[in-house]
Amino acid sequence: MIAFDLQCAKGHLFEGWFQDRHAFEGQLSESMVTCPVCGDNTISRLPSAFAIKSSGPAPEPGPSPEAVARLGRKIASFVDQNFEDVGCDFAKEALKIHYGAAAPRNIRGVSTTEEEKTLKEEGVHFFKFPTRTDSSGES
Ligand SMILES: [Zn+2]
């Protein structure tokens, strides 16, 4: 149901309830909407409409911070499941893999800025992503 604030030609204000906006417009165009005070059927709608129990979809703004956080968690959990955690040995392991001293595999871990520089200089491909800051005990 949807309610509209309506006004007749004589200025009486009243509220009209309709199945939906389409029903309202249909009834209005057929002069079926009349003023409960004077019976006038020259009705205009006031801009302040409000809807109750609307079945229409809610307007969708851009991605919410929650959605972005959810995506971040998805990436983190993908990495969790598909990358071997080598912790602080990340740079060492990455170089070993790079030079064939260790089996090629996906690894994750932490590295210092200094180590990152070395990896870049050695031509090791890696990417950084923000780690989870929440400690909600997911792992
Ligand atoms: Zn009226």
The model's pLDDT over 85-114, given as tens digits with 9 standing for 90+, comes to 998 998 998 999 988 988 888 888 888 889
Q: How high is the mean pLDDT of the chain?
A: 83
> Do 13 and 7 form a contact (C-beta atoms < 8 A)?
yes
- Domain assignment present for residue 92? The answer is yes
- Domain assignment present for residue 58? The answer is no
> Do 127 and 106 form a contact (C-beta atoms < 8 A)?
no
Q: How many domains does the chain have?
A: 2
> Do 82 and 107 form a contact (C-beta atoms < 8 A)?
no
Q: Kindly state the average pLDDT of the residues 58-82.
A: 80
pLDDT of residue 50: 53
Alpha helix (H) residue ranges in the chain: 21-29, 65-82, 90-98, 113-121
Q: Does 24 share its domain with 72? A: no
Q: Between these two residues, 133 and 94, which has the higher pLDDT value?
A: 94
- Domain assignment present for residue 128? The answer is no
Q: Kindly state the average pLDDT of the residues 46-51.
A: 62
> In terms of residue numbers, what domain contains 115?
65-121
Q: Report the separation in Å between the CA atom of 12 and the middle of ligand 1, taken as the mean of its atom positions.
A: 4
Q: Does 44 share its domain with 89? A: no
Q: Does 69 share its domain with 117? A: yes
- Residues around ion ligand 1, judged by CB within 5 A, are 8, 10, 12, 35, 37-38, 40
**pTM reported for the whole predicted model:** 0.43
pLDDT of residue 126: 81
Q: Report the separation in Å between the CA atom of 58 and the middle of ligand 1, taken as the mean of its atom positions.
A: 34
Q: Report the separation in Å between the CA atom of 3 and the middle of ligand 1, taken as the mean of its atom positions.
A: 18
